[in-house]
Amino acid sequence: MPFGGVFSVLPTPFSASGDVDLDSLRRVVDLFIADGVDGFTALGVTSEVARLTDAERDRVLDTILAHVDGRVPVVAGTTADGLRTCIEYTRRAKAAGATAVMISPPRMTKINSDAVAKHFAEVASAVDLPIVVQDYPPISGYAMEPALLARIARDVPRARTIKLEDPPTPLKVSRILELTAIQGEPVTIFGGLGGVFLLEELMAGAAGAMTGFAFPAILVKIVSLFRAGNIDDAAREFYAKVPLMRFEFQEGIGMAIRKEVLRRRGAIANAAIRAPGGALDQTTREALDRVMEWTVGSTKYEAGSKR
């Protein structure tokens, strides 16, 4: 699975009445493609997937796949606490036309490395589709050690792509790559966490970023410069823009900030998130104005901008 570059995790826009806004979702897809993304991830944490019904999940994924229409790969989140549910979600993603699925370890009362490894093996045996292993302890409640991720790559050939979101991520990237090199099992590692460690992750050997950051053109530029060997230019771009990544990736209100930015960019009609998510206060809005002015030169940011 030749993944790499920048994969944007798509939000789920909602109308003022709380319904899924598919027209806004299509505009986000077009905006991010204009920004140069290499792919999309649907039904992730940024997508507020935990607040969607199963029928809404299907409708969102079908809309994304139809509108993308093969222009870039689409990864579908299929995480579930139960194995059968995870397999069912994965089968539905394959039937819909997803390129791959992204799965976190299930929440269990007494989870352990053997149970986690078995979970991925069972899903891979049931559905012939590449798996992106999501390592994000705040969601799964379980921190996956580098040795476990290397073990999964060795034992489950379909699960050799990792979305790594357990800091310190650069150190963990290096360790996973060392272990998998010893095993002879090549893996692809994406960073996440809003892109706040992107440069350091690339330096450690990551293939790119998979995140919901609302300005993917910035990430695309950093990755492109790094891949071209212009590491100093990549660093200048990264360190100039990382305050915006940091501001957006605030616990509790990060999704609200992202949606507000996408509203300003003209992609979504309404920045609402579903309860129990937090809304932005006036102080945060003013701070967003300031950080956008400093980092991108405007309180708006147009598709395809080369700033």
Could you read off the pLDDT of 173-196 as tens digits, one per residue? 999 999 999 878 789 999 999 999
Residue whose C-alpha is closest to residue 154's, from 127, 174, 124: 124
**What pLDDT is stored for residue 1 in this prediction?**
56
**What pLDDT is stored for residue 302 in this prediction?**
46
**What pLDDT is stored for residue 265 in this prediction?**
94
User: Per the domain annotation, does 183 fall within a domain?
Assistant: yes
**What pLDDT is stored for residue 112 in this prediction?**
87
**What pLDDT is stored for residue 152 in this prediction?**
96
User: Per the domain annotation, does 260 fall within a domain?
Assistant: no
User: Per the domain annotation, does 82 fall within a domain?
Assistant: yes
Looking up residue 192, the CATH number of its domain turns out to be: 3.20.20.70
User: Per the domain annotation, does 192 fall within a domain?
Assistant: yes
pTM comes to: 0.94
**What pLDDT is stored for residue 2 in this prediction?**
64
Domain count, the chain: 1
**What pLDDT is stored for residue 59 in this prediction?**
98
User: Per the domain annotation, does 171 fall within a domain?
Assistant: yes
Distance CA 64, CA 180 (A): 33
**What pLDDT is stored for residue 239 in this prediction?**
97
User: Per the domain annotation, does 79 fall within a domain?
Assistant: yes
221 is in which domain, residue-wise? 5-239
User: Per the domain annotation, does 222 fall within a domain?
Assistant: yes
User: Per the domain annotation, does 151 fall within a domain?
Assistant: yes
Sites in the chain below the pLDDT cut of 50: 301-307
**What pLDDT is stored for residue 109 in this prediction?**
57
**What pLDDT is stored for residue 77 in this prediction?**
98
